[in-house]
Chains A and B, each alone.
Chain A
Amino acid sequence: MKPCANVEALEALALGDGREAGDAWLEAHVGECAACAAELDRLLEERALFVLRARAQDASYDATLDTDLGAASVFAELDRRRERFRKSGVLASMLAAAAACVAMAFAPVTSPGVRTVMEPAQADALEHGATASLDEAPMTMRVAACMPSGHDRDACDAPAEARAASAGLSAMSTMLTRTGAWSTWPTACVADVTCSVAGP
Chain B
Amino acid sequence: MLIYFFTAYTPKFVGGTGLLGYAGKVLHVNLTTASSHVKKLDEATAKKYIGGIGLGMKLYWSNSKVGVDPLSSENPFVLAVGPISGTMFPTGGSGHAFVSKSPVTNLLGTSVSRGTFGAEFKRAGYDAVVITGKAEKPSYLWIDDDSIQILDASALWGKSPEEVEDAIRVEIGDFYVRVASIGVAGENLSKIACIVNDRTRVAGRTGLGAVMGSKNLKAIAVRGTMDVSVSKPDEFFSLVKDFHERMKGPAVQKYRTMGSTENLVHLNDMFCVPTRNYNDSHFQLAENIGSSVINERFVVKIIGCNSCAMRCEHEVLVREGIYKDTLTRIEYDSLWAFGPNLGVDRLDVIIKAIERCTYYGLDTQSVGGVIGFIMDCHGKGLLKNNSAAVLLEELGFVPYFGNADVIIPLIEHMAVREGIGDILADGVKVAAEKLGSDGDDVDAFGSLAQHVKGLEATGYDLRCLKTTALSVAVSFRGADHSRSGAFMLDLSGKVDRLKAEVGRGKLVEELEDIYNLIDSFIICKNAKGTLYKDVEDLAKLYSAVTGKEITSEELKLAGQRIETLARLINIREGLTRKDDTLPWKVLNQPITDNNCPTKGQIVTQEELNLMLDDYYTARGWTLKGTPTKKTLQQLELHELKNITITTKKEEG
- A and B: interacting chains: no
